[in-house]
């Protein structure tokens, strides 16, 4: 795993240094680019006058100590920027996973139970809609309907602008508000979370529900399902205790994958909902050719992938007794 991480760092470093855009433009501005003295000074200031291999080794060396360099745009350490924004993204992604996994399993089980009947087609429609609608469209649509027209849910942002965030312990507004015993803030943070979480969760709900459906159909044809019914088990018991537990094994992979996908894929949703997370940070960084920030985001995204893979493997051992860790 450390090797894989080094690979990610290397590729990210190579990509950002071999691309055509010149970070100097974003540092000193286009007008100053003709002034050789200023260009040389800026290069020396940011270490861009050193040969590439040296810059690479320095970057990796610093990275090991948790230093991702200084953002060209915010002029703050990238690591600190990321730490400020990671909890917002994680809170959103976890909420989206609850929606996506919960909804996906429910839709999948219903679809398998009522195979080729109306409920199956309905579930397929909802799933297909979720995975084919782009989030910038479904996001705007849901915002318009639930926030503007119906007024049931608040608009973008993590909280109303007037409110001060709860004292940061975890960085999750909902959890922090509960820890502080501030139920008004908790309610607000939660209602702000609902729409973006649904938009993001809906996108992965489709693939999860399709997978749950097909593995449920596989499992329902197995002898042990017939055997469970022969024991006198009721329909719901057979479905949940016997079928779903087995159907979850192949589904785990895609759930793990979805989580990593959402962390990096939250970009559009965060932009639409003015969510101050990694996603919107990425957009800003990319716009201003903020290389250290881009690299930081890439590395965080890559690590998230590796980490979820690891967690998925561990989860297998929990769900499938035949898998032994060792």
In angstroms, the CA 81 to CA 83 distance is 6
Is 147 exposed, middle or buried, given 0-12, 13-18 or 19+ CB atoms closer than 10 A? middle
In angstroms, the CA 315 to CA 271 distance is 32
Q: Which is nearer to another protein, 55 or 237 (CB)?
A: 237
Tell which positions 264-323 bind another protein, by CB under 8 A.
319-322
Which of 9, 242, 268, 278 is in the footprint of another protein by CB under 8 A?
242
| Least CB distance to another protein at residue 253 (A) | 16
Tell which positions 202-231 bind another protein, by CB under 8 A.
222-224, 226-231
Q: Which is nearer to another protein, 180 or 318 (CB)?
A: 318
CB 259, CB 93: distance < 8 Å:
yes
Window contacting another protein (CB under 8 A); options: 2-10, 29-37, 204-212, 236-244: 236-244
| CB-based contacts of 253, cutoff 8 Å, min separation 6 | 312
In angstroms, the CA 107 to CA 198 distance is 15
| Least CB distance to another protein at residue 144 (A) | 44
Window contacting another protein (CB under 8 A); options: 106-114, 128-136, 232-240, 279-287: 232-240
- Binding of another protein by 234 (CB under 8 A): yes
Which of 45, 80, 245, 287 is in the footprint of another protein by CB under 8 A?
245
Q: Which is nearer to another protein, 140 or 233 (CB)?
A: 233
Which of 181, 232, 236, 326 is in the footprint of another protein by CB under 8 A?
232
- Residues 2-41, mask of contacts with another protein (x by CB under 8 A): ----------------------------------------
Name the token pair of 113: 């139970």
Please, how many CA atoms are within 13 Å of residue 316, restricted to the half-sphere of its CB?
15
Q: Which residues pair with 77 in a beta bridge?
A: 70
CB 292, CB 72: distance < 8 Å:
yes
Helix, strand, coil % (nearest 5) of the chain? 75, 0, 25
Binding site residues, another protein, CB under 8 A: 222-224, 226-235, 237, 241-242, 245-246, 249, 319-322
């Amino acid at each position: 795993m450390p090797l894989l991480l080094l690979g990610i760092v290397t590729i990210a470093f190579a990509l950002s240094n071999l691309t055509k855009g010149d970070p100097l433009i974003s540092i000193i501005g286009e007008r100053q680019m003709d002034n050789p003295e200023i260009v040389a000074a800026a290069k020396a200031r940011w270490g861009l006058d050193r040969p590439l291999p040296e810059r690479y080794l320095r970057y990796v060396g610093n990275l090991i100590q948790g230093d991702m360099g200084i953002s060209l745009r915010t002029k703050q350490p990238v690591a600190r920027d990321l730490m400020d924004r990671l909890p917002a993204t994680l809170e959103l992604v976890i909420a989206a996973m609850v929606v996506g996994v919960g909804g996906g399993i429910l839709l999948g089980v219903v679809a398998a139970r009522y195979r080729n009947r109306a409920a199956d087609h309905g579930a397929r429609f909802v799933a297909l809609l979720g995975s084919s609608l782009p989030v910038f469209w479904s996001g705007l649509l849901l915002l318009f309907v639930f926030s503007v027209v119906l007024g049931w849910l608040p608009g973008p942002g993590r909280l109303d602008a007037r409110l001060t965030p709860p004292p940061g312990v975890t960085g999750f507004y909902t959890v922090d508000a509960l820890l502080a015993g501030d139920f008004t803030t908790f309610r607000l943070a939660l209602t702000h979370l609902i729409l973006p979480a649904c938009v993001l969760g809906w996108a992965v709900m489709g693939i999860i529900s399709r997978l749950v459906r097909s593995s449920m159909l596989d499992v329902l044809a197995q002898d042990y399902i017939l055997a469970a019914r022969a024991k006198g088990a009721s329909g719901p018991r057979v479905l949940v205790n016997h079928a779903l537990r087995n159907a979850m094994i192949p589904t785990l992979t895609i759930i793990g994958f979805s989580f990593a996908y959402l962390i990096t894929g939250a970009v559009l949703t965060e932009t639409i909902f003015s969510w101050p997370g990694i996603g919107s940070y990425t957009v800003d960084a990319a716009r201003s050719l903020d290389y250290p920030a881009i690299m930081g985001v890439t590395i965080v995204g890559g690590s998230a992938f590796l980490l979820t893979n690891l967690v998925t493997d561990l989860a297998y051992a929990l769900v499938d007794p035949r898998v032994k860790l060792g």
